[in-house]
């Protein structure tokens, strides 16, 4: 049960970071290779 909660939290954090990166063009250009 604790592992499932931890995995769900990690998934939410990952989606949150992905949405922030996609909204920030400077961060997106910095992360994508030339």
What pLDDT was estimated at residue 13? Answer: 92
Task: Assess whether pLDDT exceeds 80 at residue 16.
Answer: yes
Residues 34, 17: Cα–Cα separation, whole Å: 21
Average pLDDT over residues 8-34: 79
Task: Assess whether pLDDT exceeds 80 at residue 8.
Answer: yes
Residues 34, 11: Cα–Cα separation, whole Å: 28
Average pLDDT, the chain: 81
Task: Assess whether pLDDT exceeds 90 at residue 34.
Answer: no
């Amino acid at each position: 049960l604790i592992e499932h909660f931890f995995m769900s939290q990690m998934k939410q954090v990952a989606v949150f970071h992905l949405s922030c990166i996609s909204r920030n063009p400077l961060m997106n250009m910095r992360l994508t290779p030339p």
